[in-house]
């Protein structure tokens, strides 16, 4: 599926970057192949328009912010958050030619991140009750660009068959264990996969699971939210709750931005954020190494038989079926490299 060619994907909210980045001025980003610029208005809320001035096509992200407006760095034309040109400094009486505007996109702040939808969103950003729950802290983990596809990262997040191979250097001993319980339930937002199994505690990082024992029992509630978000809830017998939110935001057909953050019902003294981040950075570096070698264009129509499958691929196969159904419900077919070139 070439994500930039599937119009329905433009109708979802995507996490773009932490809000703090906007303190450094307008920020460029490419979402589904669309160059956008994001800036912060005087009330603190973010705004997003196409990153191309309608005067002489300069990138607005090279400009600066004045009040609520973004100012082009070339000749100073100013735009509001709806993309309308509202000021031309050289124009007597500030006469604005009809049609002087750029496309604007839906933009909001949520959970400390900027979210953008290129067209009218089909549904709101998924809920994270822990964000406002008392006793929880939020830890931003990473915001990095990878050369892979969004579906590739999503299915990897639910793929227990790779642990013993890709993660043999960190936590990947799961192949020796059978989960006590595994169930996958489809929902309107995607699916929830529930697992209970015993894991090895991260060596020398017992504070991550709050247990000094060599192993601990972990209860996973791993949700996939269409199209490319997951929330992984981990519960431990000692009452510790650890929630991982991972967004695979499609930059173009061959790249994604991974944004990941955590919620925990403990404190910095119980487990320093740096310890959690160091461990998870080691884990995702293992995934990156292999995911940057796969074809970013993951097929969603399995009847094309582009790839072979096994029983353990069930989560990824449900994702493909649901994504294909989503496209078809909006009158689209899957566009892949062969059809795009035809």
The residues binding ligand FES (CB under 6 A) are 53, 55-56, 58, 72, 74-77
Contacted by 217, from ligand FES, Co ion, none: CB < 5 to 8 Å by type: none
For Co ion, the closer of residues 133 and 312 by Cβ is 312
CA 247 distance to own-chain centroid: 2
Q: Which of residues 282-311 bind Co ion (CB under 5 A)?
A: 287
C-alpha span between 272 and 206 (Å, rounded): 11
Any contact of residue 80 with Co ion (CB under 5 A)? Answer: no
For ligand FES, the closer of residues 62 and 282 by Cβ is 62
For ligand FES, the closer of residues 95 and 303 by Cβ is 95
For ligand FES, the closer of residues 1 and 102 by Cβ is 102
Least Å from the CB of residue 103 to ligand FES: 15
Contacted by 287, from ligand FES, Co ion, none: CB < 5 to 8 Å by type: Co ion
Choose among 105, 83, 82: nearest CA to 34: 105
Q: In what order do the strands lie in the sheet with 14-18?
A: 14-18, 113-117, 104-110, 46-50, 34-40, 27-31
C-alpha span between 187 and 270 (Å, rounded): 35
Instruction: Read off the DSSP letter of residue 336.
Output: -
* Alpha helices (H) in the chain, listed in sequence order: 150-157, 163-166, 273-291, 314-329, 337-341
For ligand FES, the closer of residues 28 and 112 by Cβ is 28
**Per residue, what are the HEC states of 247-284?**
EEEEEECCEEEEEEEEEECCCCCCCCHHHHHHHHHHHH
For ligand FES, the closer of residues 11 and 55 by Cβ is 55
C-alpha span between 251 and 269 (Å, rounded): 37
From 36-44, 47-55, 184-192, 280-288, span contacting Co ion (CB under 5 A):
280-288
Least Å from the CB of residue 72 to ligand FES: 3
Least Å from the CB of residue 25 to ligand FES: 16
Contacted by 294, from Co ion, ligand FES, none: CB < 5 to 8 Å by type: none
Least Å from the CB of residue 200 to Co ion: 16
Q: In this structure, what token pair is assigned to residue 23?
A: 């303190």
Phi, psi of 108 (to 5 degrees): -155, 160
Q: Which residues bind Co ion (CB under 5 A)?
A: 287
């Amino acid at each position: 599926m070439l994500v930039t060619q599937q119009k329905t994907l433009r109708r979802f909210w995507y996490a773009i970057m932490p809000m703090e980045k906007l303190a450094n001025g307008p920020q460029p980003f490419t979402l589904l192949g669309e160059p956008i610029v994001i800036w912060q208005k005087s009330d603190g809320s973010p705004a997003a328009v196409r990153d191309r001035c309608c005067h002489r096509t300069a990138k607005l992200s090279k400009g600066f912010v004045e009040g609520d407006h973004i100012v082009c760095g070339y000749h100073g034309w100013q735009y509001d958050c709806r993309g309308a040109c509202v000021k031309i400094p050289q124009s007597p009486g500030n006469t604005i030619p009809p049609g002087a505007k750029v496309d604007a996109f839906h933009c909001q702040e949520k959970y400390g991140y900027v979210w953008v939808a290129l067209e009218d969103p089909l549904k709101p950003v998924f809920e994270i009750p822990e964000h406002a729950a008392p006793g929880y802290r939020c830890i931003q983990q990473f915001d990095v660009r990878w050369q892979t596809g969004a579906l590739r990262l999503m299915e990897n997040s639910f793929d227990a068959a790779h642990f013993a191979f890709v993660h043999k250097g960190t936590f990947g001993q799961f192949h020796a264990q059978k989960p006590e319980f595994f169930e996958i339930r489809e929902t309107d937002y995607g699916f929830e996969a529930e697992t209970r199994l015993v894991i090895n505690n991260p060596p020398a990082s017992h504070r991550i699971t709050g247990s000094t024992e060599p192993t601990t029992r972990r209860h996973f509630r791993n949700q996939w939210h269409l199209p490319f978000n997951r929330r992984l809830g981990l519960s431990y017998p000692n009452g510790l709750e650890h929630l991982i939110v991972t967004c695979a935001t499609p930059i173009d057909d061959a790249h994604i931005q991974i944004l990941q953050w955590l919620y925990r019902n403990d404190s910095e003294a119980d487990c320093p954020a740096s310890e959690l981040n160091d461990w998870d950075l080691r884990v995702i570096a293992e995934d990156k190494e292999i995911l940057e070698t796969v074809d970013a264009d993951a097929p969603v129509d399995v009847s094309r038989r582009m790839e072979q499958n096994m029983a353990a691929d069930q989560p990824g196969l449900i994702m493909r079926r649901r994504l294909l159904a989503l496209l078809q419900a909006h009158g689209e077919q899957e566009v892949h490299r062969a059809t795009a070139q035809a």
